[in-house]
Amino acid sequence: MFESVIGLEVHLAVNTASKLFCTCHADSFGRPPNSVTCPVCLGLPGTLPRVNRAAVEKAVMLSLALGCSVPDYSRFSRKHYFYPDAPKNYQTSQADGPFGEHGSLTLKGGRSIGVTRCHLEEDAGRSVHPEYQDHSLIDLNRAGAALIELVTEPDIRTPAEAREFLQQIRSVARALGVSDASPEEGKMRADVNVSLRRPGEELGVKVEIKNLNSFRSVQGALEYEIRRQADLLDAGKQVTQQTRGWNEGGQKTYLMREKETSADYRYLEDPDIAPVALDAPWLERIRLASGELPDAKEARYLAAGVREADATLIAFERDLATFFDAALSELSAQESGATPQQLANWLGSDVSGWLNTNGLSLDGSGLTPTLLVSLVSLIARSEISGKTAKDLLPEVMQGADPATLVAERGLGQISDDAAVGELVDGVLSANPALVAKTRENPNAINALLGLVMRESRGKARPELVRGLLEERLGL
């Protein structure tokens, strides 16, 4: 009887080479603590930030892809808070004049979710709390790396929609090459806001759950929080505005603090950073450099005759889509008679199955678009049966050329009329009883067909065998 109202704040680690305001490496994975730092990202007095152009372009690119309007000038602001892993005692972020505003993203079911804003900000360092010590440690390697923060309108209605929104954002960010957007590597994190109301009522008091780092935990935290708030309201109590955390082990949210309001951050336009002027020619270049979005890919696959389920699966997975696109252009180059749907079938079922079983990614396997097209073409040209192709797949996945395997092992289907004709005649003269039976009842032909196929060790083309049998028996 309550309707849930959800808004998301999504953080994406931007995949630039350097940090947002200095030349330190942005990706410090595996480096010793505090080794990827400099006076700028340590916030030492007397240093000046310089805005990373590539990070700006990526933020603008994502903003444009989400249909945001991009201002003529975008500004950076200081967001003040004291936190041990924020060395400057403020975070350089954006308040007024973010790179994108008023965009939207449409979910598969057709519902449009408003994107309030899309801005750039710097990441914080990390506090480490070793069990064996009585103090905490700070690692500032991540401090100053570029993040895109994307805030939605409270347009989302269910935990499943929240999850789908995040999955789509991940696909778009990957397709654009803006962020790896992998929650498992901390490159995509979300804060979720949720309130309840009776349908038609004003928005209720919201609770924010911070720092969720998997799609599953977003869904789990929202489901838990919706139950918690419904119980309060059912008992005639009020929901109070809070910031909560998610306890993955206990599958519960817990109170962190009563939420600060934005006034507490004392936003101040950063006097050290000039506004970034976004003129039309630059925006046009960014637009042109954008990759094709998943929606457009999906439409292109559908137009090429790929079934919707396969088109969606492939279009929204960057690695699959890249592979599939390369295979499609091979396909038209080779004029093999194979169809895009046949390729999609192999990619979506047998190839994916083999990768799952072997715990490998497409990249990590030996399969190339050329090899897959070659395999599918052999079937399309009736040179091998689907069964033979499946038998060959494990070797092809490890980089073997199927055409070579077929030639070396004599696996090609026998489609030579004379050769098959000999096999057919042999079987007919050896099985007079079956021949008589089939003359009476043509359905019995399958037994003869099976015998010829066995004689050919599966290499005869079944349609050819059937045709020859029918001809010889006068059916």
Cβ nearer to ligand ADP, comparing 95 with 376: 95
Q: Give me the count of residues in the chain.
A: 475
**Residues with Cβ within 8 Å of residue 396, at least 6 apart in sequence:** 366, 367, 371, 372, 375, 402, 405
DSSP label at 275? Answer: P
Is residue 325 a contact residue for ligand ADP (CB under 6 A)? no
x/- letters, 10..49, toward Zn ion (CB under 5 A): ------------x-x-------------x-xx--------
Q: CB nearest ligand ADP: which residue?
A: 7
Q: Using an 8 Å Cβ cutoff, are 62 and 98 in contact?
A: no
Residue 389 binds which entry of ligand ADP, Zn ion, none, CB below 5-8 Å type-dependent: none
Give min distance, CB of 32 to ligand ADP, in A: 36
Distance CA 286, CA 278 (A): 11
Near ligand ADP by CB under 6 A: residue from 66, 145, 194, 276: 194
Q: Using an 8 Å Cβ cutoff, are 74 and 98 in contact?
A: yes
Distance CA 283, CA 278 (A): 7
> Which residues, 249 to 268, sit near ligand ADP by CB under 6 A?
259, 262
Is residue 64 a contact residue for Zn ion (CB under 5 A)? no
Residue 63 binds which entry of ligand ADP, Zn ion, none, CB below 5-8 Å type-dependent: none
Give min distance, CB of 117 to ligand ADP, in A: 9
Is residue 150 a contact residue for ligand ADP (CB under 6 A)? no
Using CB under 6 A, which of the segments 2-10, 29-37, 87-95, 299-307 binds ligand ADP? 2-10
**Residues with Cβ within 8 Å of residue 322, at least 6 apart in sequence:** none
Instruction: Output the CA angle 342-344-348, nearest 5 degrees.
Output: 125
Near ligand ADP by CB under 6 A: residue from 40, 113, 140, 151: 151
Give min distance, CB of 266 to ligand ADP, in A: 14
Q: How far from the centroid of its chain's Cα atoms is residue 328's Cα?
A: 20
Bridge partners (DSSP) of residue 152 are: 115
| Residue 12 buriedness (CB in 10 A; 0-12 / 13-18 / 19+) | buried
Near ligand ADP by CB under 6 A: residue from 3, 9, 180, 248: 9
**Residues with Cβ within 8 Å of residue 236, at least 6 apart in sequence:** none
Cβ nearer to ligand ADP, comparing 259 with 381: 259
Cβ nearer to ligand ADP, comparing 154 with 369: 154
Lookup result for tokens 């073997």: 400
Nearest to 59 by CA among 286, 310, 357, 343: 286
Give min distance, CB of 142 to ligand ADP, in A: 23
Using CB under 6 A, which of the segments 7-15, 128-136, 217-225, 314-322 binds ligand ADP? 7-15
Distance CA 174, CA 172 (A): 5
What does the binding site for Zn ion look like in residue numbers (CB under 5 A)? Answer: 22, 24, 38, 40-41
What does the binding site for ligand ADP look like in residue numbers (CB under 6 A)? Answer: 5-9, 151-154, 193-195, 203-204, 206, 259, 262
